[in-house]
Amino acid sequence: MKLNEYIDHTLLSAQATKLEVIQLCKEALTHNFYAVCVNSSYTKLAKEVLAGSNVKIAVTIGFPLGAVSSTTKEIEAVQAFKDGADELDMVINIGALKNKDYEKVKNEISDIKNLKSGKILKVIIETCYLNPEEIVKASELAMQAGADFVKTSTGFGTRGASKEDILIMKETVGENMRIKASGGIRDRETALDYIHLGADRIGTSSGIKIMTETP
């Protein structure tokens, strides 16, 4: 297993600068990470720096709250694709899930997925705000809507991923979807633990530390 190929090298802070995003992309090239993950305003810049490489560009949509309108998310997604995004990491409408407005949640996911054939959609369900039953339901809705990944966290909630989250999500989606663990993953041991539990991708801002730690 090549750990670098599981990592989405991430910079999503509100104060992220152009130079920091360029550095992120250069680090991803050096370590051959699977992708960088950036806010949508930096899609074009990431595309320029990563041109000609195998590193994918993952772009956040409706981030970090998920509470903007479905139309706003679609507009942001369309622009991200125009600017060069390969993958989208979209936050669900958590309030709608809590309201049991499951059709709204599912339709929003499917509408984003159907915008661009062949592009990867990861659905962030923000597990820190959900009980186990809601994690199951959110994972089921993402699966039914045709998303490619269900993802634990934005990294901006009250906590990031947990082993319990991954186990619940894996039991729910099985081999029908992939899982991205993100939020609070700052060392090699934690990243490997999540992969062994069933995560197919790791979202982290500590990719360099993880890769340079002694196994």
Positions marked catalytic: 89, 151, 180
Task: Answer positive or negative: Cα dihedral of 129, 132, 137, 138.
Answer: positive
Strands 120-124 and 56-61: unpaired
